[in-house]
């Protein structure tokens, strides 16, 4: 089983990349204690996108953002016997947040107007990048305005955004894609290259920007961001059978 090799912690003004393989200076016991304090605290909001997670301390003047490089499975492999990684509290998916806001927006008569106000124009790739291209799709290309065209499966561009990964989410919500060139590079070789550190940092920081857009989007819909966050179910992962993890 693969295990995570780095941990990304991002504030609004600085980002930390923590070496999980340096167990001399950072033993597993210290990481377990840190994760328990962090992920079991219901007062700390953890934001994520798929396997990506960040967090925000309240009040908002004291924000810290946390991001997994891989998923919780790899984190549990790197730090075993950690209950917090099986039952994290107050973890919210940014992708689902966008989907919830989209669903509420699409019910409005002025849907296109609202989307034009809160989001950049759709990327040009949406005009030609259709799932399972058919003759009907070629004859009816996606408009270049900020409307939300439907695919033959009834799926809008923004709904597909949630399933296309963080890079496309950045492009659709922020107007620029996330450079994923270093995503599949060798992360257990030390020292990490500057390009790897840059990727790891931006991979965490972009979630702050997406969350900020979601806050403005919710305000435009006259709903609180807390109401949007409450729509998501808590993350619960059962430990393996006969496990003595805890």
**The pLDDT of residue 244:** 59
**The pLDDT of residue 76:** 83
**The pLDDT of residue 131:** 45
**The pLDDT of residue 137:** 40
Q: Which residue has the higher pLDDT, 26 or 137?
A: 26
pTM of the predicted structure, to 2 decimals: 0.76
**The pLDDT of residue 47:** 74
Average pLDDT, the chain: 77
Q: What percent of the chain has pLDDT over 90?
A: 26
Average pLDDT over residues 96-110: 90
Would the pLDDT of 162 be above 60? yes
**The pLDDT of residue 193:** 95
**The pLDDT of residue 154:** 55
Alpha-carbon span 87 to 239, nearest angstrom: 10
- Domains of the chain in sequence order: 6-121+157-231 (3.30.420)
**The pLDDT of residue 80:** 85
Q: Which residue has the higher pLDDT, 106 or 146?
A: 106
Average pLDDT over residues 166-187: 90
Three-state SS across 1-20?
CCCCCEEEEEECCCEEEEEC
Would the pLDDT of 32 be above 80? yes
Average pLDDT over residues 215-230: 94
């Amino acid at each position: 089983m693969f295990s995570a090799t780095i941990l990304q912690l991002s504030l609004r003004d600085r980002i930390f990349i923590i070496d999980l393989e340096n167990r001399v200076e950072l033993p597993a016991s210290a990481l377990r204690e840190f994760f328990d304090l962090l992920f079991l605290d219901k007062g700390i909001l953890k934001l994520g996108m798929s396997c990506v997670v960040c967090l925000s301390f309240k009040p908002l003047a004291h924000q810290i953002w946390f991001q997994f490089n891989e998923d919780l499975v790899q984190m549990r492999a790197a730090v075993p016997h950690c209950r917090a990684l099986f039952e994290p509290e107050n973890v919210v998916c940014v992708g689902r947040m966008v989907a919830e806001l989209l669903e509420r927006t699409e019910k409005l008569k002025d849907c296109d107007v609202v989307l034009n106000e809160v989001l950049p124009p759709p990327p040009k790739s949406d005009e030609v990048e259709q799932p399972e291209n058919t003759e009907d799709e070629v004859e009816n290309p996606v408009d270049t305005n900020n409307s939300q065209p439907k695919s033959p499966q009834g799926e809008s561009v923004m709904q597909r955004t949630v399933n296309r990964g963080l890079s496309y989410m950045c492009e659709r919500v922020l107007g620029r894609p996330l450079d994923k060139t270093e995503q599949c590079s060798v992360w257990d070789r030390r020292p990490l290259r500057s390009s790897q550190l840059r990727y790891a940092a931006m991979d965490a920081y972009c979630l702050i920007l997406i969350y900020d857009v979601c806050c403005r989007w919710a305000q435009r819909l006259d709903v609180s961001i807390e109401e949007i966050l409450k729509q998501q179910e808590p993350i619960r992962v059962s430990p393996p059978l006969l496990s003595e993890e805890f």
